[in-house]
Amino acid sequence: MNMKKILSMALIFALLISVSSAFAVVGQEPPAEGEITITGIMPVEDSVGPVAEPTVEGNLLINEHPVLITSLNRIAPVLQYGTVAFLEDGRIMLMGVDENGESYAKLILNLSEATLILSAASGEPVALENIREGEVLYAYVSPAMALSMPAQASAELLLTSIPADFRMPVYAEINDVVASEDSSVLLITNQGINITVNADTALSPYLSRQFLTSEMLLPGQKILAWCGPTGISYPALTTANKLIAFNTSYTGTASVDSNGVITLNGDVLRFDRLAMPYIHNGAYLVPFRKVVEALGCTVAWNSADSSVVVSKDEAVLYSFVSGADSVTQGQGDLERSVTHALDTVLGVTYMSIDDIVALHNLKFIG
């Protein structure tokens, strides 16, 4: 065993002792079940330096120690608009106008079966063949654009049939839902705009006759909202007159508060004293089996080769070997890198919370 691993194990052992001692200091009795809810995470510093300082938006701050979050949520699509120049082979050319009033090839939109094409006025589906050259088109596209001339991007949503002098609806993903005492809710979205939904908002699910209320709106859902005037603050604030909600593609939700308490699908997770989350090298590491089993998965450990197989409903989700820096998804050989090496310490395997969120397609609530 190398010196770095010995030091890491010693630090973790010290952490466990410190957590147990914390109860005596504050005069609390340990719960009878032998489990606790985390309320005071002690940071474990890397042997080569302190926990990294925050450098990107979205970092967690746990007990005043920054934790880098690299892959928790999908990047919001980018709004582009222009005039349709041609439509062929599943592609649309958008033309823009430069500062001199000259028309130029702005962006090629690559369409797929998943691309939504909707009427800007009603939100009803529009057939691709009904889009005409010369009409104005609004598109929400992937921020990852091909560096060609013109640039190319995958289109997630197209808004067409736009009336003159029309206030365009907002397409966004709900990051959080904040309830108010007057029964209205505030939707915190990934587009830098907060949308109030009240009793006057006309709500409906996409292509469904089912009844929808504001209480049924969830983090991770995508919405198309027709709103009133928007404030000039950041994030902007507006009220929805009409809102269409789409089915969420996430499998659940996860959150971590400033004390390190983890909530999965609305339930606070509790940990055994000998398997506690900790901060290491800027990552928030959690006991892997405890978290994954709380998500309804089965974890199989093979001591012969120190491998782990995670499955749900008898289907293999992914597998890995202790100490690896990647996992194998499904039963194939598709490798996916993880942000922190998957190590087993004192019989407990740890994984960073952002890797679990990504692998299980959870919506992270900041």
User: How close are the terminal C-alpha atoms of the chain, in Å?
Assistant: 38
Higher pLDDT, 346 or 115: 115
pLDDT score, position 136:
95
What pTM value is reported for the model? 0.74
Of 216, 245, 274, the residue that ends a domain is 245
Res 333: pLDDT: 67
Q: How many CB atoms lie within 10 A of CB 268?
A: 12
- Asked if the structure places residue 68 within a domain, the reply is no
In the chain, the percentage of residues whose pLDDT exceeds 70 is 79
Whether 113 and 196 map to the same domain: the answer is no
Residue 130 lies in a domain: yes
Q: Phi, psi (5° rounding) for residue 334?
A: -75, 115
Paired tokens of 41? 């995470």
Question: pLDDT per residue over 109-139, tens digit each?
Answer: 999 999 999 999 999 999 999 999 999 999 9
Q: Are 255 and 364 in contact (CB under 8 A)?
A: yes
Whether pLDDT at 52 is above 70: no
Instruction: Check whether residue 156 and residue 176 sit in a common domain.
Output: no
The confidence score (pLDDT) of residue 132 equals 92
Q: What is the CATH number of the domain that holds 354?
A: 3.30.457.10
**Which pLDDT band holds residue 27 (cuts at 50, 70, 90)?**
very low
Same domain? 156 vs 182: no
Is the sign of the CA dihedral 228, 214, 189, 60 positive or negative?
Answer: positive
**Inside any domain, residue 166:** no
Determine the longest span between alpha carbons in the chain, in angstroms.
74
Verify that 307 and 347 share a domain, yes or no. yes
- Domain final residue pick, 110, 140, 160: 160
pLDDT of 121 reads 96
Question: In the predicted model, is pLDDT for residue 255 greater than 80?
Answer: yes
Range of the domain at 178: 172-245
Tokens of 230: 């928007």
Q: What is the pLDDT of residue 13?
A: 45
Regarding whether 321 and 270 lie in a shared domain, the answer is yes
**Is residue 39 one of the residues assigned to a domain?**
yes
All residues at 6 or more sequence positions from 316 whose CB lies less than 8 Å from its CB, including other chains: 309, 310, 330, 331
- Sign of the alpha-carbon dihedral angle for 150, 155, 161, 163: negative
Where a domain ends, among 139, 160, 181? 160
247 contacts: CB under 8 Å, gap ≥ 6 = 205, 206, 221
Residue 45 — very low, low, confident or very high, per pLDDT cuts 50/70/90? very low
For all residues of the chain together, what is the average pLDDT? 82
CATH number of the domain bearing residue 139: 2.40.50.140
**Distances in whole angstroms, Cα of residue 337 to Cα of each of 2, 123, 280, 358:** 24, 39, 18, 11
Q: Which residues contact 160 (CB under 8 A, 6 or more apart)?
A: 117, 118, 119, 120, 126, 130, 131, 135, 137, 138
Q: Could you tell me the pLDDT band of residue 25, with boundaries at 50, 70 and 90?
A: very low
Write the DSSP assignment of 146-187 as a string of letters. B-SSSEEEEEEEEEESPPTT--PPEEEEEEEEEE-TTS-EEE
Q: Provide the number of structural domains found in the chain.
A: 3
The C-alpha atoms of residue 255 and residue 338 are separated, in whole angstroms, by 19
| 280 closest CA partner among 327, 325, 343, 336 | 343
Residue 316 lies in a domain: yes
Per-residue pLDDT tens for 178-201? Answer: 998 888 999 999 999 999 999 999
Domain match, 237 and 192 both? yes
Average pLDDT rounded to a whole number, residues 77-98: 92
Q: Is residue 139 part of a domain?
A: yes
